[in-house]
Amino acid sequence: MTCAICKRDNRADASFCDGCGRRLAGTNGSVPEGIKGPLDGIRVLDWTMWQFGPVSTMMLADMGAEVIKVESLDGDHARQFHRVSGAATVLPGGLNAYFESLNRQKTSIALDLKNPKGTEIMYQLARKSDVLIQNFRQGVAERLNLGYEDIHKQNPMLVYGSATGFGPKGPDSGKPAFAYTGEARSGSLWWAGPNDGKPYNLQSVADQIAGIILSYGVLGGLISRDKLGFGQRVDVSHLGSLMWLGGNRNGIALLSGNTPQRQDRTEARNVLWNSYKCKDDLWIAFSMNQSDRYWPDFCKAIERPDFLENEKFNEMNARADNREELIRLLDDIFVTKDREFWQNIMNETGGIIWAPVQDIWDLPDDPQVKLNNYIVDFDHDVLGKVKYLQTPVGYSDTPLSTRKSAPQHGEDTENILIDMLGYTWDDIASLQDEGVIL
User: Smallest Cα–Cα separation from 400: which of 380, 367, 372, 365?
Assistant: 372
User: Smallest Cα–Cα separation from 269: which of 317, 217, 197?
Assistant: 317
Q: Which CATH superfamily is domain 265-357 in?
A: formyl-coa transferase, domain 3 (3.30.1540.10)
Query: What DSSP character marks residue 351?
Result: S
pLDDT bucket at 352, cuts 50 / 70 / 90: very high
Q: Which CATH superfamily is domain 34-246+378-433 in?
A: Crotonobetainyl-coa:carnitine coa-transferase; domain 1 (3.40.50.10540)
**Span 291-345, pLDDT tens digits:** 999 999 999 999 999 999 999 999 999 999 999 999 999 999 999 999 999 999 9
Helix (H) or strand (E) holding 309: helix 306-309
Domain ranges of the chain: 34-246+378-433, 265-357
Torsion sign (Cα): 387, 391, 396, 401: negative
Global pTM value: 0.84
Q: How far apart are CA 172 and CA 177, in angstroms?
A: 10
How far, CA to CA in Å, does 329 sit from each of 59, 322, 332, 335, 407? 46, 11, 5, 10, 55
User: Smallest Cα–Cα separation from 190: which of 123, 262, 97?
Assistant: 262
**Span 85-133, pLDDT tens digits:** 777 888 888 888 888 889 999 999 999 999 999 999 999 999 999 999 9
Residue type, 209: I
